[in-house]
Amino acid sequence: MSDRSPSQPRPQAAPHRSGFACFVGRPNAGKSTLTNALVGTKVAITSSRPQTTRHTVRGIVHRPDAQLVLVDTPGLHKPRTLLGERLNDVVRTTWAEVDVIGFCLPADQKLGPGDRFIAGELAKAGKTPKVAVVTKTDLVDSKQLAEQLIAVDRLGRELGLDWAEIVPVSAVAGQQVSLLADLLVPLLPEGPPLYPEGDLTDEPEQVMVAELIREAALEGVRDELPHSIAVVVEEMIPREGRPESKPLLDIHANLYIERPSQKGIVIGPKGARLKDVGMKSRKHIEALLGTPVFLDLHVKVAKDWQRDPRQLRKLGF
């Protein structure tokens, strides 16, 4: 009975696993598309949950046997940072804090200096398991794919990177995406889900709108404001009585801060800063949704909401 090898699956007794993963790779490597393909339409309601992770949650893969939380790696999206002299501490910290790192390398492009640079940094990143994900496999034939897999394997050997797995995927064609999830899950520690399933929503638009407002609100005051600044979009409704050719979307959003003293920072002298935040985020929201928007922003102190557990959950406290 007890002589089964540990590598054999134990479907019945498999413990629940949960943890964090981040995808790294040079720009255009397919990280976002892969994240979306793994996560599906459900995204996390709160983009930032300071008590759980300091990193922006991109999406959550929620399965009966595991919960995989995909977080952003700050800095690595920007080629200038990427090709700079050295990665900043934030990136290193992220790599040390996640449970698994997925390194995305497009199948249709030869490994370049950008890939080598990241791989070199990853090699120094300590014990966190690294999975090489060869993306966009739909763009190449099997010979090219085989060559790329060999090149990635060789790169790992050269740099002393011990790939936990090398997985070819196509997020666009939906090939091997669930296999990738199957391979990532065993690399997570045992543990209960980090987020209740109710924290996932089918309304990514609302979440993205909130995130755009949050970004604009944090711009320039990141050092003064806590990471726990939160934005909740209360309502998005088309304005009634508008001609079809001139639609307008009314968006009501609350910007929550932790202390009354922070109100001044967000609002600015004579409301100038909040107005600017509204204007900037409205432009981004209009670009995202493809419709003119009327944005109604209110600043609230989260303390007032402490007696309302539902609101608190929404805010990530």
Residues that bind ligand GTP in the complex, under the rule CB under 6 A: 25, 27-33, 77, 135-136, 138-139, 170-172
The answer to whether 25 is a known ligand-binding residue is yes
Q: Which is nearer to ligand GTP, 29 or 253 (CB)?
A: 29
* Shortest distance (Å) from residue 177 CB to ligand GTP: 9
Report how far apart the first and last C-alpha atoms of the chain are (Å, whole number): 47
Task: Provide the sign of the torsion angle of the four alpha carbons 12, 13, 14, 15, taken in this order.
Answer: positive
Is 128 annotated in a binding site? The answer is no
Residue with smaller CB distance to ligand GTP, 77 or 283: 77
CA–CA gap between residue 74 and residue 64 (Å, rounded):
30
76 is in an annotated binding site: yes
User: Closest separation between CB of residue 299 and ligand GTP, Å?
Assistant: 31
Question: Which residue, chain included where needed, has tokens 């008590």?
Answer: 51
Decide whether 30 or 156 has the Cβ nearer to ligand GTP: 30
Contact 12, 91 (CB under 8 A): no
- For the bound state, the minimum distance from the C-beta of residue 95 to ligand GTP, rounded and expressed in Å, comes to 16
In the complex with ligand GTP, the residue whose CB is nearer, 80 or 127, is 80
Report the distance separating Cα 230 and Cα 246, nearest Å: 31
**Other beta carbons less than 10 A from residue 281's beta carbon:** 26
Known binding residue 29? Answer is: yes
- Known binding residue 124? Answer is no
From CA 303, how far away is CA 259, in angstroms rounded? 7
Query: Residue 220 — left, alpha, or beta (φ > 0 → left; ψ -120 to 50 → alpha)?
Result: left
Closest contact distance (angstroms) between CB of 315 and ligand GTP is 27
Sequence ranges of the binding site for GTP: 25-32, 72-76, 135-138
Sequence ranges of the binding site: 25-32, 72-76, 135-138
